[in-house]
Structure 1
Amino acid sequence: MVAEVVAGYLSGSTALLADAGHNLGDVLSLLLAWGASALAARPASDRYTYGFKNTSILAAIANAALLWFALGAVLVETVRRLFDPQPVQGGMMMIVAAVGIAINLGSALLFMRGSKGDLNLRAAFLHLLADAVVSASVVLAGLAILLTGLTWIDPVASLIITIGLGWSSWDLLRDAIRMGLLAVPRHIDDAAVRAFLQSRPGVSAIHDLHIWPMSTTETALTAHLVMPGGHPGDAFLRELAEALAHEHRIDHATVQIECNADDCALIHHPPH
């Protein structure tokens, strides 16, 4: 990132600065994810009964916001350069961007395995992978400038890169905000979970079902099950929690058993 900022100013390339801006977002993203991971590992306390697991969600939201802020800053400079093109050293652009391709691809591989189940790791993986693509685009832009001498190629390449990065990061921003609002995580089918609970032996009805993310990797559930035959015992609850964990990836399940549908006042509330 530092090399691209220096080279961007020396060569006059906004495309390099655009890549550096995105790399700055990656550095901050990794630091935030690292900090959130460390906090999430801390034990629960009397005040923070879930511990600090939720900090990973806050980090994901901050990461998405920082990325868009960096893209906005680069976009402003790009538009200015479109109306006032400056001399650009295409050769320096190509050399620095080529090094960036190797570094970003190698870094992205470190996050590939964990990116499927953790939004923070997915954010880091996508940022680094996108950086490799951006660096490749800068190499091509530098080559085009060397061959044609047209300086407007640089701000146009920067504009295309910025728009592309904004488009590709939209899902990340949307998922982070959804987690912050405690929406059902994308990988969980709430209708399937409801059907699963409803199909348990002895269950006649289910209400007050809530599924929400405790962190970017853990999910919690609470539900009220109406069982007219009476409480089925602790073994039923233990097996239910294990099934929810293995079949639906729900880590923390809390179930309340009710013998009659009218036992719970919440069932009459419209949201439930």
Structure 2
Amino acid sequence: MAVSQHSHDFVSHNQKGEKRTLYVLILTVTTMVVEIAAGTMFGSMALLADGWHMGTHAAAFCITLFTYRYAKQNAHNDRFSFGTGKVSVLGGFTSAIALGIVALMMMVESIHRLFNPESIQFNEAIMVAVIGLVVNLASMLLLQDHHHHGHDHHDHHGHDHEHHHDHNLTAAYFHVLADTLTSLLAIVALIVGKFYGWIWLDAMMGIVGAVVIGKWTLGLMKQTAPVLLDESINKSYRDEITETLAPYAEIVDLHIWKVSGHHYSAAIALKNHSDKTLDEFKQLLSKFDKIHHLTLEVQTTE
């Protein structure tokens, strides 16, 4: 039996994501403080409400930063047998839950407003929505490189064609994207409501936004939960391993799971019916470069 032990430091490529999240957090907190201060000075409930709403996103970004720091500090801690790659995934899952709570609260409040309409100070509300939109667009610019380059692609020939998918940063991006959507929907609803008197449209836009955000939340949870639960990886990757080994050995046992967003661990037991040695089997499997921890057992047919 052989254990191929690679580096468990899975956090080096996240340094850029950590810095970007910090910049977004600073921008969000600054906007929050300014809006709360202005709302208090001018007696504006709309500004106060949006300021505290920014606070919920600041809390989500703090979760993102905490997971980055924790993963980095414990990257070489022996208590984590397979490294701290899943810390980032756990951060993404936690943020997804927070985003889902926001969507649920939006839905409840919007339904309440739909049946119990309240008077709206349109000019003030539009100003707040525009401020929120500008801040969120700036935040999206800081995070957009991840959004375009952090998607998973299908595996081909066992090589790492999958971009480094940072679920932690994905969650932060979805928080910003959700807020951008709500700001856009609010601006449309408020302008139409101001000129046509359709006050109910504000609540309807809130319901639409809640549904869309809820869908994003489920998508993010579907990405992160399988990693946390050690679900086996896609069948095509396992089939490629089987095809590589089949001419020389029978696979008795095969387990492959993710130990981070883009690194795998594998435990393989073979019944050798060729003259290949353990090292030669390891060499055959070396092309599967996503596997960063390999336990290989080779049984003889004797």
Of 285, 289, 293, 1:240 maps to 285
Segments of 5+ residues of structure 2 without an aligned counterpart are 1-27, 151-164
Partner residue in 2 for 1:213: 258
Whether 2:117 is the aligned partner of 1:85: answer: yes
Q: Verify the 8 A CA contact 1:231 1:259 in the aligned structure 2.
A: no
Distance in 2 (alpha carbons) for counterparts of 1:92 and 1:131: 18
Deviation at 1:202, TM superposition (A): 5.1
Which region of structure 1 is more displaced relative to structure 2, 225-234 or 116-125? 225-234
Of 23, 29, 40, 2:60 maps to 29
Query: Aligned-pair RMSD on alpha carbons?
Result: 3.0
Inter-CA distance 184–27: structure 2 relative to 1 (3 Å threshold): farther
SS of the residue 1:54 aligns to: helix
Q: Verify the 8 A CA contact 2:241 2:285 in the aligned structure 1.
A: no
Distance in 2 (alpha carbons) for counterparts of 1:82 and 1:238: 65
Deviation at 1:69, TM superposition (A): 1.3
Distance in 1 (alpha carbons) for counterparts of 2:71 and 2:284: 27
The letter of the residue matching 1:63 is S
Of 69, 78, 84, 1:38 maps to 69
Segments of 5+ residues of structure 1 without an aligned counterpart are 264-272
Equivalent residue runs for 1:1-272 within 5 Å = 2=32, 3=35, 10=44, 21=53, 26-41=57-72, 42-115=74-147, 116=150, 117-185=165-233, 189-200=234-245, 203-230=248-275, 232-234=277-279, 236-238=281-283, 240-241=285-286, 243-245=287-289, 249-260=290-301
Deviation string, structure 1 residues 169-204 (Cα, Å, up to 9, x no partner): 22112222222211135xxx3333333343247532
SS of the residue 1:155 aligns to: helix
Inter-CA distance 201–162: structure 2 relative to 1 (3 Å threshold): closer
Distance in 2 (alpha carbons) for counterparts of 1:90 and 1:29: 29
SS of the residue 1:154 aligns to: helix
What number of residue pairs does the alignment pair up? 249
TM-score normalised by length of structure 2: 0.71
The letter of the residue matching 2:296 is V
The letter of the residue matching 1:80 is H
Deviation string, structure 1 residues 51-106 (Cα, Å, up to 9, x no partner): 43322222122111111112222322222222211111122222222222222122
SS of the residue 1:112 aligns to: helix
SS of the residue 1:87 aligns to: coil
Inter-CA distance 221–192: structure 2 relative to 1 (3 Å threshold): same
Could you say which structure has the greater relative contact order, defined with CA pairs below 8 angstroms and 6 or more residues apart? 2
Deviation at 1:148, TM superposition (A): 2.0
SS of the residue 2:85 aligns to: coil
The letter of the residue matching 2:133 is I
TM-score normalised by length of structure 1: 0.78
Deviation at 1:212, TM superposition (A): 1.6
Distance in 1 (alpha carbons) for counterparts of 2:126 and 2:283: 60
